[in-house]
Amino acid sequence: MSETYEKLGAFYLGKQYDLSQNELRDELLLYDSKDLLTHGVCFGMTGSGKTGLSVCLLEEALIDGIPVIAIDPKGDLANLLLNFPNLRPKDFEPWVQESTARQKGLTKKEFASNQAALWKKGIGQWGQDGERIQKLRDSAEFSIYTPGSEAGLPVSMLKSFNAPSEELRNDREQMRDRVQAASSSILGLMGIDADPVQSREHILLSLILDKAWRAGRNLSLPQVIQQIQKPPVERVGVFELEDFYPAGDRMGLAMALNNLLASPGFEVWMQGEALDLDKMLYTPEGKPRISIFSIAHLGDAERMFFVSSLLGETLSWMRRQSGTTSLRAMLYMDEIYGYLPPTANPPSKKPLMTLMKQARAFGLGVLLSTQNPKDLDYKALSNAGTWFIGRLQTDRDRDRVLDGLEGAAAGSGAEFDRQEMENQISGLDKRVFLLYNVHDDRPTAFHTRWALSYLSGPLTREQIEVLMADHKGAAVVVEAPAADTVPDEPARPSLGDGVPEYFLPVDSLGPADAKLAYEPVLMGASRLRFSDVRKKVDEPREIVAWTPFDDGPTPVDWEHAEEIEIDPGDLEPEPRGSSAEYSAPPKQAQRVRSYKTWEKRFATWIYANQRLTLYKCAQLKQVSRPSEDERAFRIRLEHLAREKRDALADKLRKRYVPKIARLDDRVRKAQQRVQKEKEQAKTSVLQSTFSIGATVLGALFGNKLASATNVRRAGTAARAISRAGRERSDVGRAAENLEALEQQLADLQVEFDEEVATTEDAIDVLNEEFETVQIRPKKTDIQVRICALVWMPYWKGPSGSREQAWG
């Protein structure tokens, strides 16, 4: 089949599908890549197969040598890197979901073997094999970028405010949109929802960017902060600058932006590759790339900041390209919700609308994917020539699609039968899509092919880090020196005057062939207090934490800090031994003034991150003590619960014991009565037996004179029999009375036991969900004792291996 579908410019997406018979047809679904120049949209509810279709389409683009920019808000697109030509179980094992394996009663290894077999069978059924997977791998370079994180490849945003291309600067409307989008992005990152017309913050930022960009000058965030303080304009409209936006107020905006720039964790936005579309679409050797921008880890404001910046750079790149009628590159965005809404105007909307209107002339195809058609602006839908329609959630979604299709058909002059289209959309199964293409005569239903990439599901940051480890450069291996050479002993670095410096004590003996090596870190020690009068909490604490130095522009990030259990008084002023090796600290760590800044940031980190967490039990109205963890608190509550349960049980006993005692006494007397009645009945039976026996003997062997006596005996015997019958009846009644009393006693005991059990259930501490109460320290209750460079000792082996030398 490979000779059939491997055609230049044709995307093999699956096979045509007969909706009336619900079965596959033999005809392949080959999508002409140049049709994507009129852009596309993909709709489908969760479980429709929308992600699989999108992955297949991207695979085909890469096999066809088309570079891709992919924006991934969920983490699914990283699956494109999970392509295994050999289809071996060990290739799948690191990426299978362990929870899924457990649900199926399999080990992770067994499940990986099943998945490998499933994938081999699946691609085989669609005429594909490991060679095609290898072709995919060889066709492009795969990269995952994680802006704001170092899990994948970081993206430097310092150049996000580069001047647009000359072509864009000469287009007044496009230039205005680019300036407004950049200003909205900056303010959005600061948490300011600013109107471009009404907000003076937005107007000022737009003036600063517009003036610099029209002169062809780039601006970094620090330069933006400086120009907020001293704007390059004297008037805003008809008002003097000071009347429109006084210096004091501008300083507040500058400080807010500076705080963002200086905030822990923000420096990662300044590291990594610049946002350069040329480099992200092709390698230095000219090989196509797929650059996946994974943004699932970001907050909403950060996502919008990055996406709008990326779209702005895409516009600038597009403007630099020559016109073409072929697909030059592809921009794909998964889950477009919130970025191109029908009513609101987020910073991402205008650049996206511009791309949908103009990108086709420059060879850039745009494909947008979403679950709900109402997520997309109607004008954007009318600019889409290709529609992939899967199973939809509601009739309202279907109607929205039909309205959009009707508008798109009218705009292109194509025929459109709404009723027929509605019937087709209503009968779609999983992985079955309806392809509406303005370049085709009629819609086509098709079933998606099996993806070459392993669809593991959204990947975590840790998994992305594994995938990108090689792209970040191989780890440096310290080799043992040759036997005939002796390396120079590194001297202890000389620090500036006044730089606080300590050494962690060496608490272990290293291997015989190891030597002591010191690594510099920044360490802080602080006393703080958690106090809350209402909760009767007054808890002092001492925090000691350290964070590594970094060689980047921001050498210290307290967000990477780790707490360490050490008394600051145990730090030593000098190292152990004179032959230790030292790693050089960064230059900023050798200047005393740096430590004042880092000390303030340490206090800020403590205030932001240190919490005293208490647990609250609503049932028992108890709050944990400051020194209690959840386990200790639960144990204490179990004892309290037992005490409360026992107290309630005592109350129950006081109520039930007299009742039980009275019934017990009646049962005892009833038992005695039954026994007495049984004995009387037994005596009566014996007497009646003797009387009957004497009468019978007299009648058989007596003479005539004895006949009168026999008659009297017969009467006595009859009376004895009657009395025995009455006694037996008395026994039965006494037994019934005893049984009734015993049942009453048993019922009362059950009632008592049930009330005790209810009491125990009402205080079920083991299953109690505790509320958490968090107390943060006041800033005035944080006293930094030490902020210093501290040398951490390691035992370093001949091969470069290291092990910790402190306790």
Q: What angle do CA 363, 342, 318 make, to 5 degrees?
A: 20
Angstrom distances, CA of residue 270 to CA of 391, 547, 552, 558: 42, 19, 9, 16
pLDDT tens digits, residue range 497-525?
A: 889 999 998 877 677 788 899 999 999 99
Burial zone of 586 (CB within 10 Å; 0-12 exposed, 13-18 middle, 19+ buried): middle
For every residue of 294-314, DSSP letters joined together read: E-TTS-HHHHHHHHHHHHHHH
CB 364 within 8 A of CB 328: yes
Q: 1-154+322-475 architecture in CATH?
A: 3-Layer(aba) Sandwich (3.40)
pLDDT tens digits, residue range 192-234?
A: 878 888 899 999 999 999 998 888 888 777 788 888 988 988 8
Asked whether the predicted pLDDT for residue 720 surpasses 60, the reply is: no
What is the reported pLDDT for 594? 92
Residues 401-417, mean pLDDT to the nearest whole number: 73
Across 693-747, where does the E strand assignment appear?
none
pLDDT tens digits, residue range 256-310?
A: 888 887 777 777 887 788 888 888 999 888 889 999 999 999 988 889 989 988 9
Asked whether the predicted pLDDT for residue 100 surpasses 80, the reply is: yes
Look up residue 289 and give its DSSP letter.
E
End-to-end CA distance of the chain: 65
State the Cα–Cα distance between residues 78 and 57, nearest whole angstrom: 14
Asked whether the predicted pLDDT for residue 488 surpasses 50, the reply is: no
What is the reported pLDDT for 608? 92
State the Cα–Cα distance between residues 225 and 418, nearest whole angstrom: 55
Highest averaged pLDDT of the listed ranges 132-136, 504-508, 664-668: 132-136
What is the reported pLDDT for 672? 78
Highest averaged pLDDT of the listed ranges 18-22, 558-562, 630-634: 558-562
Asked whether the predicted pLDDT for residue 764 surpasses 80, the reply is: no
For residue 207, give both structure tokens.
Answer: 């003036």
Q: Residue 414: which pLDDT band, with cuts at 50, 70 and 90?
A: low
State the Cα–Cα distance between residues 59 and 73, nearest whole angstrom: 19
Q: What angle do CA 690, 691, 692 make, to 5 degrees?
A: 95
What is the reported pLDDT for 80? 96
For the chain, the residue count is: 807
State the Cα–Cα distance between residues 4 and 27, nearest whole angstrom: 10
More reliable by pLDDT, 784 or 737: 784
What is the reported pLDDT for 404? 76
Residues 535-548, mean pLDDT to the nearest whole number: 92
**Nearest by Cα to 428 from 54, 18, 27:** 18
Other Cβ atoms within 10 Å of 286 Cβ, number: 6
Angstrom distances, CA of residue 192 to CA of 301, 307, 491, 717: 9, 17, 51, 115
State the Cα–Cα distance between residues 671 and 681, nearest whole angstrom: 15
State the Cα–Cα distance between residues 724 and 356, nearest whole angstrom: 111
State the Cα–Cα distance between residues 461 and 468, nearest whole angstrom: 10
Q: What is the mean pLDDT of the chain?
A: 83
Other Cβ atoms within 10 Å of 67 Cβ, number: 21
Asked whether the predicted pLDDT for residue 413 surpasses 90, the reply is: no
Q: What angle do CA 264, 794, 784 make, to 5 degrees?
A: 40
- 580: Cβ contacts below 8 Å, ≥ 6 apart: 492, 515, 516, 517, 518, 793
Look up residue 97 and give its DSSP letter.
-
Other Cβ atoms within 10 Å of 488 Cβ, number: 5
What is the reported pLDDT for 2? 45
State the Cα–Cα distance between residues 588 and 554, nearest whole angstrom: 9
CB 256 within 8 A of CB 250: no
Q: Across the strands, what pairs with 23?
A: 18
pLDDT tens digits, residue range 23-51?
A: 999 899 999 998 999 999 999 988 899 99
State the Cα–Cα distance between residues 552 and 525, nearest whole angstrom: 24
Residues 580-609, mean pLDDT to the nearest whole number: 92
